[in-house]
Structure 1
Amino acid sequence: MECFKALGLSDCICDALARKGFSEPTPIQEAVIPRLLSGERDVVGQAATGTGKTAAFGLPILESIEAGAGHVQALVLAPTRELAVQVADEIESFKGNKRINVLPIYGGQAFGPQFQGLRRGADIVVGTPGRVLDHIERGSLDLSNISFLVLDEADEMLNMGFIDDIETVMAAASEDRRTLLFSATMPQDILRIAKRYMNDFENVAVKREQRDVPLTEQVFHEVAESDRFEALCRVIDANDGFYGLVFCRTRADVDNVAARLQERNYAAEGLHGDASQAQREKVLNKFRKQTVTVLVATDVAARGIDVQELTHVVNYAIPQDPETYVHRIGRTGRAGRTGHAVTIINPNEFRKMRFITRNASGEIKKQSLPRVEEVISARKLRLKSGVMAAMQQEGLEPFEAFAQELLEIDDDPKKALAAVLKMAYRDDLDASRYRQIDDAPQRSMAGGGNGRAEMFCASGRADGMSPRELVDVVSREAGINGRLIQGVRIMARHAVFQVPEREAENIERTFRKLAAGAPPLVRRSRQGRGGGGRSGPRGGFKPRGNGGGPRGGNGGKRRYDNRGNGNDRDRGNRSYGSHN
């Protein structure tokens, strides 16, 4: 770990990195860590997701803060709850034996556990902008003494409409803090935030690493969420000599998938950040020797795994971005061998997969899963070929006498051979072990049974709409739980979101009634329309508040009313969609 020690990191932190399988720092870590440990200036870092940004800011923060200070010492803002949890987990895994408390807070989770965590004494808080602002307004989160404020994926937070919330949070934070801003791109609004709220800052830019995977065949399968595990088993069984990595998003997912594979008699093991160095080495040795042929892991745990012979990489959980995707699948197709990269998605992840398809290396094809009959037929063919090959080899004599005994057990020799096959292969050749998988699951568009429907909103960023406002309005007017509103995307002049199909009709009916004959503010999305073709907000749906600070004259709280005369929203009494 000399490379990390040279950056100024302590033995305690370096030991934690060694246990996680880190071998050398990434470019962004080399550039940022010494600056944060030795200097006092703020930092603006430009680097893509998957380049090691969390360690770049997390390690120096862990080195700089004190355990048991009695107040929050560092705040990290992240655009989504998934990323907030991921960042919190990774910082937690870096701390070694330091008694530092890391707490994720995000919308969609009950306030109770978050209140308790803050009261117990969180040293580092990682949260989404909306929920952090909720806690500030409730008085449960005090930022007056923080030493570090980090904006992670700042451009994503900007795209999701959180700029007002971010500015309010920054205004509430200690003036003596150091601010660290990380973004893959640097639009003007990000630079404006940096100039307005950051002190004398340094710019650190790391170029995106280009990776090629010319020998890797890339496909993805789209299945219902309930069929994801069944699809994984189908992928493994359909490929002779499967030897691969299966990537999951969380430690809990790793444990769950590995256990279910073991229950089905696959040679599988799980690996994640909770594993000790001894456990890690034990599992990796089994994997290298191929006594374990399916290794289920998180991205962090898979660092440092270098096995040339991998036949497959399976994305059981879709990667967060194209860089992570390319980094994952680069582990197969090495040393002149052809590798296979398989991604399993549910219908709600189709757009994200399409984004990865456009931005990753090589062609990624959509494929149907092999049918059960094809899997069984392929297994039988491989078994038959193996038997025929064994018959041509020497050394069968010790088995011939016993084979004759078995054939004489019953008048029907086929029955005896069938019993031997059943004992040897259990239910591997039984089609009933497989569940049928819907090859055309309902995607999140209008229509469709028990799936999700895509809805269109005729207001966008130009009208002052944000993900937070959209969830508030739809949940309030239609009387549904805000947690059911997912996949919110705010464009310049419109927005789209997804709800369970059973709620779509109620929402559409509600907003038609409110519009009183005018075009409704919210309706089902119509495929092929693209959501455009409008000239302003509908149904009197207008933001309130005008100037007087970064969030407007009323502290930035906008209120929307489909009838033009609604009530101020109560931030504390609503649920948020999964975007926050």
Structure 2
Amino acid sequence: MSESTTFESLELEAHLLDRLDALGYEFATPVQAMAIPPAIAGRDVLATARTGTGKTAAFVLPILQTHKPGVIICPTRELALQVVNEIERLSGLDNIATALIGGASMKKQIQQLTEWPDAILVATPGRICDHMERGNVDLNQYDVLVLDEADEMLSMGFADDLEYIVDQMNPDHQTLLFSATMPKHVQKLANKILEDPEQIRASGKEERPPSLVKQYVMICTLRQRVDAIEKLLLAWQPSAAIIFCKTRNRVETVADILRPKGAEALHGGMSQAERTRVMNRFREGRTNVLVATDVAARGIDVDRVDLVLQDDLPTDDDTYIHRVGRTGRAGRTGRSVLMVGNRAVRHIKRIEKKAGELERMEIPTQQDIDDLQRMQLVEEFSEIEPHQNAFDAFNAARESGMSAEKIAVAALSKLLGSSPEQDTANTPQLNKSDNGPKAALVLGLGAMDGIERGAITGMVYRVGNLPDGSVGRIEMLDKITAVELPEQFIDQLVEDLDQERVGRRYVRPRRSDDWTFQPEGRHPSQRRHGGGGRQGGGRKGPSGRHNSRGKGRSGRPNRRR
């Protein structure tokens, strides 16, 4: 079928056609045109279709058309939530789909399963297996199984979970398998679970990064990379940037350093509620720098992203292309910088064969940054339409005896402000060696609220728009947190933070004039326990809870969600 296939020609029900018309959709994408008819007819489907081809509607519309009970399995929580939103958008109905995902309340999910027994299930593999083992879900009652991004699920280690899910389905069920790529392990799974499938290849040409993205590679050590990232952010001043890291720990490390710049972390170790809040802030422009793992960032679609920074070599070429594809969207230009060590240079040629040339670049010097900022300023000047008050000020200055050159230099000096060295000199300094009573910002939440120091630091810098180096020691007790700041910032922050929340809790700021901070290197708990460390036996994790490594409650190995 061609790209000019209309949805009306696919013989969808009138209410679905009305809904598609209201959303402005008249023509089906190739994957939709090829997959919807056989799926409605009840055939198994094996489709190779990448993100952005309209594949979600290709499996959602047949389920809505046939009214068969369906189960959709997705690799990540974020993708599952996006599918739920798409189901509600295409159907025009609320509560028509239930998300069963890790990191969210199991109790609430059980309640939704009870209240909405006919809802389409959209789940991550680990969490739906948990529900099945607890008797909350009986897949034998469902007639359609969709495996979305099967290649990604297999690469994440969900092969056993997927086979278990297929085994629990109604024996006569229909399976729709969608995968961005078709490597041997995906084909092997398809051969095992599909019966005479309609085979569809809708990916078109081999995927490449968007043509409007300028790709760079920077050879540097791991120790140099955060400094390089800071300099690139300063030099290019992106509208929005995503920084990709391989591991959760690396994400937290980089995000902690960049929090004064407004950066936030996004990874699978965060609760679903916090991940959703971070993504909402990024989409709405309240956060402009996101530090994320590949899995957590999968499916992020924010048009204003104009810079992608890759902290290390991706696991494969497709992951590289996915990362770069987060920028250069909707006709906009973008930049991508891949940072690698000397040993990884041999992999660059392989990536270039698939992604195009990567221009070599060095870590920017301060002179490079100044030059770039001046060039950007000149470009902005060429686009400015002068206001009448600017002409009036210029004429007044000329009448006072100033030359045009002197007026321009004076105006630029006022616009550019002081030099970085002067800014540092003018930033109020903290005396961290002063352990006597001093003014502090005190917040009405603490360790018992599950709040991390990084979240407090990021919030204070973001809300207060503080200069780098303004936040000193942070003492987090059970129910309150004290933040060391230059005294002149405290009263304004108390006012600015009045309606601010972390999670569902208002921060309830106040000023303390006599807080005694513990010397650096000494834990605040020593204030309360007389110098003792943690109390109670057993190995404890970061949250203080006892860890039982390797096994879940039922004794089976913990599943990834």
Question: Shorter-chain TM-score category?
Answer: 0.5 to 0.7
Distance 2:367 2:46 in 1: 56
Q: Which residue of 1 aligns with 2:30?
A: 27
Q: Is the Cα contact below 8 Å between 1:332 and 1:340 reproduced in 2?
A: no
Q: Encode CA deviations 1:201-256: one digit per residue, 9 max, x unaligned.
A: 3222335424666675213689999999967853543xxxx8x8867999855652
Q: Is the Cα contact below 8 Å between 1:29 and 1:53 reproduced in 2?
A: yes
- Pick closer, same or farther for the CA change 1:23–1:428 going to 2, 3 Å: farther
| Aligned-pair CA distance for 1:149 | 0.7
- Pick closer, same or farther for the CA change 1:18–1:231 going to 2, 3 Å: farther
**Partner amino acid, structure 2, of 1:51:** T
Q: Is the Cα contact below 8 Å between 2:232 and 2:364 reproduced in 1?
A: no
- Pick closer, same or farther for the CA change 1:396–1:331 going to 2, 3 Å: closer
Q: Which residue of 2 aligns with 1:181?
A: 177
Single out whichever of 222-231 and 6-15 deviates more from structure 2.
Answer: 222-231
Q: TM-score by structure 2 length?
A: 0.52
SS at 1:144's partner residue?
Answer: helix
Distance 1:20 1:422 in 2: 51
Aligned mate of 1:219, from 206, 216, 220: 216
Q: Is the Cα contact below 8 Å between 1:79 and 1:156 reproduced in 2?
A: yes
Q: Is the Cα contact below 8 Å between 1:223 and 1:231 reproduced in 2?
A: no
Q: Is the Cα contact below 8 Å between 1:29 and 1:52 reproduced in 2?
A: yes
**Sequence identity (%):** 29
Q: Which residue of 1 aligns with 2:115?
A: 120
Q: Which residue of 1 aligns with 2:335?
A: 341
Count of residue pairs the alignment pairs up: 390
SS at 2:198's partner residue?
Answer: strand
Q: Which residue of 2 aligns with 1:163?
A: 159
Distance 1:44 1:396 in 2: 64
Q: Is the Cα contact below 8 Å between 1:3 and 1:24 reproduced in 2?
A: yes
Distance 2:230 2:63 in 1: 42
2:373 pairs with 1:379: yes
Distance 2:66 2:395 in 1: 75
| Aligned-pair CA distance for 1:138 | 0.3
2:168 pairs with 1:143: no
Distance 1:389 1:167 in 2: 59
Q: Which residue of 1 aligns with 2:281?
A: 256
Aligned mate of 1:44, from 29, 43, 46: 46
Q: Is the Cα contact below 8 Å between 1:44 and 1:181 reproduced in 2?
A: yes
Distance 1:100 1:258 in 2: 24
Distance 2:21 2:365 in 1: 43
Distance 1:228 1:63 in 2: 52
Q: Is the Cα contact below 8 Å between 1:155 and 1:186 reproduced in 2?
A: yes
* Consecutive unaligned residues in structure 2, runs of 5 or more: 244-265, 267-274, 290-298, 425-465, 470-537
- Pick closer, same or farther for the CA change 1:388–1:116 going to 2, 3 Å: closer
SS at 1:204's partner residue?
Answer: strand
| Aligned-pair CA distance for 1:155 | 3.3
Single out whichever of 97-106 and 362-371 deviates more from structure 2.
Answer: 362-371
Aligned ranges 1:90-489 → 2 under 5 Å: 90-95=86-91, 97-121=92-116, 123-186=119-182, 190=186, 193-194=189-190, 196-210=192-206, 216-219=213-216, 233-234=233-234, 236-237=236-237, 255-257=280-282, 313-315=306-308, 321=319, 324=322, 331=329, 340-342=334-336, 357=351, 360-364=354-358, 367=361, 370=364, 374-380=368-374, 398-404=392-398, 435=468
Distance 2:127 2:166 in 1: 14
| Aligned-pair CA distance for 1:115 | 2.5
- Pick closer, same or farther for the CA change 1:43–1:426 going to 2, 3 Å: same
Q: Encode CA deviations 1:53-82: one digit per residue, 9 max, x unaligned.
A: 22211222233338xxxxxx2211223334
- Pick closer, same or farther for the CA change 1:375–1:187 going to 2, 3 Å: closer
Q: Which residue of 1 aligns with 2:432?
A: none
| Aligned-pair CA distance for 1:167 | 1.9
- Pick closer, same or farther for the CA change 1:220–1:140 going to 2, 3 Å: farther
Q: Is the Cα contact below 8 Å between 2:241 and 2:308 reproduced in 1?
A: yes
Q: Is the Cα contact below 8 Å between 1:223 and 1:344 reproduced in 2?
A: no
SS at 1:3's partner residue?
Answer: coil
Aligned ranges 1:476-555 → 2 under 5 Å: none
Q: Is the Cα contact below 8 Å between 2:72 and 2:148 reproduced in 1?
A: yes
- Pick closer, same or farther for the CA change 1:20–1:398 going to 2, 3 Å: same
| Aligned-pair CA distance for 1:31 | 0.5
Distance 1:387 1:197 in 2: 62
**Partner amino acid, structure 2, of 1:54:** T
Q: Is the Cα contact below 8 Å between 2:31 and 2:54 reproduced in 1?
A: yes
Distance 1:190 1:385 in 2: 50
**Partner amino acid, structure 2, of 1:35:** P
- Pick closer, same or farther for the CA change 1:345–1:10 going to 2, 3 Å: farther
Q: Which has the higher contact order (CA 8 A, sep 6+)?
A: 1
Q: Which residue of 2 aligns with 1:552?
A: none
- Pick closer, same or farther for the CA change 1:346–1:382 going to 2, 3 Å: closer
Q: Encode CA deviations 1:1-34: one digit per residue, 9 max, x unaligned.
A: 9723333345654566567676743322111012
State the Cα RMSD in Å.
5.7
- Pick closer, same or farther for the CA change 1:19–1:375 going to 2, 3 Å: farther
* Consecutive unaligned residues in structure 1, runs of 5 or more: 67-72, 265-297, 303-309, 437-477, 485-505, 511-559, 561-568
- Pick closer, same or farther for the CA change 1:397–1:29 going to 2, 3 Å: closer
- Pick closer, same or farther for the CA change 1:355–1:24 going to 2, 3 Å: farther
SS at 2:46's partner residue?
Answer: strand
- Pick closer, same or farther for the CA change 1:159–1:6 going to 2, 3 Å: same
- Pick closer, same or farther for the CA change 1:229–1:136 going to 2, 3 Å: farther
- Pick closer, same or farther for the CA change 1:34–1:192 going to 2, 3 Å: same
Distance 2:340 2:110 in 1: 34
Q: Which residue of 2 aligns with 1:59?
A: 61
**Partner amino acid, structure 1, of 2:77:** R
Distance 2:541 2:33 in 1: 45
Distance 1:138 1:257 in 2: 36
Distance 1:99 1:315 in 2: 35
**Partner amino acid, structure 2, of 1:42:** D
**Partner amino acid, structure 1, of 2:173:** R
SS at 2:11's partner residue?
Answer: coil
| Aligned-pair CA distance for 1:362 | 0.9
Distance 2:49 2:162 in 1: 20
Q: Encode CA deviations 1:519-578: one digit per residue, 9 max, x unaligned.
A: xxxxxxxxxxxxxxxxxxxxxxxxxxxxxxxxxxxxxxxxx9xxxxxxxx445579957x
| Aligned-pair CA distance for 1:41 | 1.7
SS at 1:342's partner residue?
Answer: strand
**Partner amino acid, structure 1, of 2:335:** A
Q: Which residue of 2 aligns with 1:5?
A: 8
Q: TM-score by structure 1 length?
A: 0.51
Distance 2:134 2:349 in 1: 38
Q: Encode CA deviations 1:474-511: one digit per residue, 9 max, x unaligned.
A: xxxx9566999xxxxxxxxxxxxxxxxxxxxx99xx9x
SS at 2:178's partner residue?
Answer: strand
